[in-house]
Amino acid sequence: MRVMKRAPADVSIGTALAVGFSVTLGLWVYTEYAFTQRIDNLQREAAEVTSRYTRAQELLSSVRAHVLLNSLRMRDALLDPQPDVIRQSLEQIENSHRIVTEALADYEPVMGSGVERSQLASLQKEVEQFHATSIAVLGDAAGRNPELVREVLNRDVVPRREAMLTLSDDIQAINRRVFEQHQRDIADIHRGAETDSRQRLAFVLLIGLLVVFATGFYATGLEGRLRVQIARDKRMSQELRDAAAKIIAAQEDERRRIARELHDEVGQVLSALSVEIEVAQRSIVAAGGSPVVLGEAQSIADGALNTVRNIAQLLHPATLDDLGLAAAIDSSLRGLARRQDIRAELHEKDLPARLPREVELAAYRIVQEAITNVGKHANATQCHVHLTHLTDRLLIEIEDDGVGFGGDAEASAIGRGLGLISVRERVSRLGGTFNILSAPGQGTRLIVSLPERGALA
Helix 295-315 and helix 325-340: axis angle, to 10°?
Answer: 140
Residue 382 three-state SS: strand
Lowest mean pLDDT among 6-10, 243-247, 353-357: 6-10
Average the pLDDT over 106-128 and give the result. Answer: 73
Task: Please provide residue 292's backbone torsions phi and psi, each rounded to the nearest 5 degrees.
Answer: -65, -20
Gap between the Cα atoms of 164 and 157, Å rounded:
11
Q: Over 50: is that where the pLDDT of 311 sits? A: yes
The secondary element (H helix, E strand) that includes residue 349 is strand 343-349
Phi-psi region of 419 (alpha: psi -120 to 50; beta: other; left: phi over 0): left
Other beta carbons within 10 angstroms of residue 176's beta carbon come to 14
Residues 6+ apart with CB under 8 A from 347: 384, 385, 386, 387
Q: Residues 363-406: pLDDT tens digits? A: 988 898 888 888 888 888 999 999 999 888 899 999 999 888 76
Q: Residues 182-201: pLDDT tens digits? A: 677 777 777 777 777 777 77
Average pLDDT of the chain is 75
Gap between the Cα atoms of 23 and 34, Å rounded:
17
Average the pLDDT over 210-232 and give the result. Answer: 78
Q: Over 70: is that where the pLDDT of 14 sits? A: no
Q: Residues 240-259: pLDDT tens digits? A: 767 766 776 777 677 777 76
Gap between the Cα atoms of 142 and 384, Å rounded:
105
Gap between the Cα atoms of 319 and 305, Å rounded:
18
- 379 with 403: CB under 8 angstroms? yes
Q: Nearest Cα to 248, choosing from 373, 414, 420, 430?
A: 430
Gap between the Cα atoms of 449 and 394, Å rounded:
6
pLDDT for the residue 416: 53
Q: Over 80: is that where the pLDDT of 235 sits? A: yes
- 78 with 40: CB under 8 angstroms? no
> Per-residue confidence at 226, pLDDT binned at 50, 70, 90?
confident
pLDDT for the residue 178: 67
DSSP one-letter code for 442: S
How distant is the alpha carbon of residue 105 from its chain centre?
A: 51
Q: Over 60: is that where the pLDDT of 98 sits? A: yes
Q: Which carries the bigger pLDDT value, residue 346 or residue 126? A: 346
Three-class DSSP labels, 267-309: HHHHHHHHHHHHHHHHHHHHCCCCHHHHHHHHHHHHHHHHHHH
Average the pLDDT over 2-7 and give the result. Answer: 40
**Domains parsed from the chain with CATH numbers:** 8-219 (1.20.120.1730), 323-451 (3.30.565.10)
Q: Which carries the bigger pLDDT value, residue 348 or residue 220? A: 348
pLDDT for the residue 346: 93
Gap between the Cα atoms of 37 and 45, Å rounded:
12
DSSP one-letter code for 5: P
Gap between the Cα atoms of 225 and 321, Å rounded:
49
Q: Residues 268-304: pLDDT tens digits? A: 777 777 777 777 777 777 777 666 667 777 778 777 7
Lowest mean pLDDT among 109-113, 213-217, 244-248: 109-113
Q: Nearest Cα to 272, choosing from 246, 302, 313?
A: 302
Alpha-carbon distances of 27 from 13, 98, 316, rounded to whole Å: 22, 58, 68
Q: Which carries the bigger pLDDT value, residue 385 or residue 2? A: 385
Average the pLDDT over 401-420 and give the result. Answer: 65
Gap between the Cα atoms of 419 and 394, Å rounded:
22
Q: Over 70: is that where the pLDDT of 337 sits? A: yes
Other beta carbons within 10 angstroms of residue 383's beta carbon come to 26
